[in-house]
Structure 1
Amino acid sequence: MRSNLNERPSAITLRAVYSALFLLIAITTAGLGQASAPKFRVIALAEHGGIHQPFVDAAKQWLGDLSKQENFSVDYIEDTEKIDDDFLSHYQLFIQLNYPPYMWTPKAMAAFQKYIEQGRGGWIGFHHATLLGEFDGYAMWPWFHEFMGGIRWKDYIAKFATAKVVVEDAKHPVLQGVPASFMIENEEWYTYDRSPRPNVHVLAHVDESTYKPDTKTKMGDHPVIWSNERMKARNIYIFMGHHPELFQNEAFTTIFKNSILWAAHP
């Protein structure tokens, strides 16, 4: 017997088709929602203006690309007015993008201290974050002074120098995929009144014998990447951070990426 081409599908068949379509749409929508939700949120306190602006601008562009690849979000602030406990509760990682340890509101200082001491999120600080002392009419922040290993800013290589950075703890997650030593060009290399060692876990130091051009501005034991393991928060200080060309340095960008993925997850 020939089938009737004009025969309409039964109501039961139509309901089955519609149910399957609705289920497919629901699954697809849920999948898209999961893919778009960031794995974690980052707040970056970025220094605004001045000689470090090109570095900050390059960092923002690089972070924008990385955040898409690794599925996290980044928000930026240029002062500490918004920072309090509630504000920080929305972020799993705090990046101090060359912003110094002064010009903070008392409310922000208290909230940040709890954030770090209680491990409410991770922290990465760059370069200017160790400009510790009395600057621009602001007093030393005692807690941050201890957080950074009890150091005080002393001097810097104003005319810049290229030097070799030597890895001390190659097993640390931040230094995975980083060569045993690497060159950093045209950096101003801060010196401090003392080494932060042994108050911090030193991950890398600069070999001052490799300075080109050579300089008398040296401190002997000269750590440049370290972590304060006395805090619950995963934290990394990275001294390098003056020139935008650092984002063309594979060792530097690997360290930055590793630091983000490590510090954002307790």
Structure 2
Amino acid sequence: MKRSALFILFALVSSFSVGYAATPIHVLLIDGQAAGAYHQWQLTTPILKKELEETGLFQVTVATSPESPSGDFSGFHPEFSKYQVIVSNLDSPDWPADLKSQFEQFVGNGGGLVIVHAADNSFPDWPAFNQMAGIGGWRKRTEKAGPMWYFQDGKLVSDPSPGNAGSHGLRMPFRVDAREPQHPIMKGLPPSWMHYADELYSKMRGPGQNMTVLATAYSDPENKGTGHDEPMLLVLKYGKGRIFHTLLGHDVAALSCVGFITTFQRGTEWAATGKVTQKIPGTFPTANTVSFRTDLAAMDPAYKNGVNGPVPVPRPVPSAK
């Protein structure tokens, strides 16, 4: 196979001219994590909030969950019913029973839910959440949590082989391949595009009920991968609720990818309303181009200090299977 050069398009525009909705979509963005977790929600939550609000469609309220299981939840009472959609940037092992029940009722009765990256590491022993997420990883999940899910020969397959859930290699750019191009979130996107350096989750397990995989990425064995086309973007149904689950977005750099931004914005609108009105930006990445918002990346002190360095160039990726 011929090696294709990877070009980098730095989207330098720090703001957009948008029309603001007369009635904004009310979003509750929940963050926080257990002690010792590896995701810096203090840095990523402001990025997610900015990405939604700059569309002019969303009004975002942030609520930080206490650490669990030892945290004090007596003052944490988010009123889910005030919102149309919840965005979870929360990596937590558990919640109190009454809070879980309220969350289930919100989604089951038609509330939207968006699960971002490590939020699918949460709640391994909460059956309803695992149904909402479809797949998850880590936190001692094994084959008891459900089979692994991936694409093989162009079809979604379930693999009940024993083993732990959740794996990834080094953070590198990788190609994302559309699987459901006519879904409202995906309509108008290119068949394949490059995603900026990120963790490519693999060996994800779960019930996989009422789940549609919108896009996958090849997990390269040369980067601790499985050799499978792994789910990256999902939609699910739970009761009357719509769920968008993106496995992309480990850190500020990954969240600054125009491909992530676009699918996150569109996925949140779809989860809230069932429709997508947003246009595809002209800076959307292509099959051999990474498109990256430097204004967002600069919100990470590590980027400002040059710690992240240049974008690594990935090995050639095989054709989608």
TM-score of the two chains, using structure 2 as the length reference: 0.59
- How far the C-alpha of 1:197 sits from its partner, in A, is 5.1
Q: Distance in 2 between matches of 1:73 and 1:170?
A: 28
Letter in 1 for 2:88: Q
Q: Residue type matched to 1:156 in 2?
A: S
Over 3 Å counting, the alpha-carbon distance change for 1:114 and 1:76 in structure 2 is: same
The CA distance in 2 between the partners of 1:251 and 1:56, in whole Å, is 18
- Stretches of structure 2 that go unaligned for 5 or more consecutive residues are 1-19, 67-72, 139-164, 275-321
User: Please, what is the CA RMSD of the aligned residues?
Assistant: 2.8
Aligned equivalents of 2:123, 2:24: Cα separation in 1: 37
Deviations 1:110-156 (A, max 9, x none): 1111111221x11111001211576xxxxx22221222225543232
Q: CA deviation at 1:36?
A: 8.5
- Higher helix residue share: 1
Larger Cα-atom Rg: 1
Q: Are residue 79 (structure 1) and residue 65 (structure 2) matched?
A: yes
Separation in structure 2 between the aligned mates of residue 159 and residue 36 of structure 1, nearest angstrom:
40
Q: CA deviation at 1:83?
A: 4.0
| TM-score computed with the length of structure 1 as normaliser | 0.71
Distance 2:210 2:95 in 1: 24
Q: Residues 98-177 of structure 1: matches in 2 within 5 Å?
A: 99-100=90-91, 102-119=93-110, 121-132=111-122, 140-149=125-134, 151-153=136-138, 154-157=165-168, 159-177=170-188
Q: Could you say if the C-alpha distance between residues 36 and 218 of structure 1 is closer, same or farther in structure 2, counting changes exceeding 3 Å?
A: closer
Verify the 8 A CA contact 2:219 2:228 in the aligned structure 1.
yes
The answer on whether the counterparts of 1:62 and 1:247 sit within 8 Å (CA) in structure 2 is no
- Structure 1 residue corresponding to 2:46, chosen from 57, 69, 74: 57
Which structure 1 segments of 5+ residues have no match? 1-34, 135-139
User: How many residues of Structure 1 are paired with residues of Structure 2 in the alignment?
Assistant: 217
* Partner SS for 1:222: strand
User: Percent sequence identity over matched residues?
Assistant: 23
CA pair 56-40 structure 1, distance change in 2 beyond 3 A = closer
Instruction: Indicate how the Cα distance of structure 1 residues 133 and 104 shifts in structure 2: closer, same or farther if over 3 A, else same.
Output: closer
Q: 1:195 to 1:108 in 2, by over 3 A?
A: closer
Q: Does 1:92 align with 2:84?
A: yes
| Cα separation, 2, equivalents of 1:123 and 1:230 | 10
Output one character per residue of 1:38-87: Cα deviation in whole Å (capped at 9) or x when no partner.
Answer: 33211100236964333223222323323xx22x3110001174346xx1
Matches within 5 A, 1:2-81: 38-47=23-32, 51-53=39-41, 54-66=43-55, 69-70=56-57, 72-79=58-65, 81=73
Cα gap change, 1:248 to 1:133, in 2 (>3 Å): closer
Residues 225 and 207 of structure 1: is their aligned pair in 2 closer, same or farther, counting only changes over 3 Å? same
